[in-house]
Amino acid sequence: MRPVAGRLPRVDESDARARLDEEQGRLRGVKAQLVDDTGETEQESLSELSSVDQHQADTGTETFEREQDLSILELVASELADVEHALRRLDDGTYGTCEACAQAIDEARLEAMPAARLCRDDQERAEHDGRGTLGAG
């Protein structure tokens, strides 16, 4: 890793890459399972529900469960994008540097959250301001 802002790199790149690759594989597996479980598009699912004689409560339950699955799928896709972003940052030498203040992200934070983009202080500020993660997306 190239030094950033005059600091020596502290992150073990091979260890970070191994953790990120493992998380990427796990998330891809979860995503594939969710896609297999939901299978059809939302429109197909709602169309099927309307063509079957069901009680309104059953339809509501099915719709709720479908929306819940889609929300989980969206969350997994977002986490996967964060992991892929972290892998790109490893490649370009900026992994382990806060995207908001350019300071080093604490090693313990990176071990716990290998795809972390922000140091703890900037993450807390982002959450307090209601933005979730600065620079996400």
40 has pLDDT over 60: no
Pick 41 or 126 by higher pLDDT: 126
Phi, then psi, of 97 in degrees rounded to 5: -110, 130
Of 42, 32, 21, 26, residue with least CA distance to 84: 21
pLDDT of 63? 79
Q: Which residue in the block uniquely carries the two structure tokens 């929300």?
A: 71
Q: What is the DSSP string of 86-122?
A: HHHHHHHT-TTB-TTT-PBPPHHHHHH-TT--S-HHH
5 has pLDDT over 70: no
Provide the whole-model pTM. Answer: 0.70
DSSP conformation class of 8: P
| Model confidence band, residue 6 (pLDDT cutoffs 50, 70, 90) | very low
Provide the β-strand partners of residue 97: 104
Q: Are 7 and 104 in contact (CB under 8 A)?
A: yes
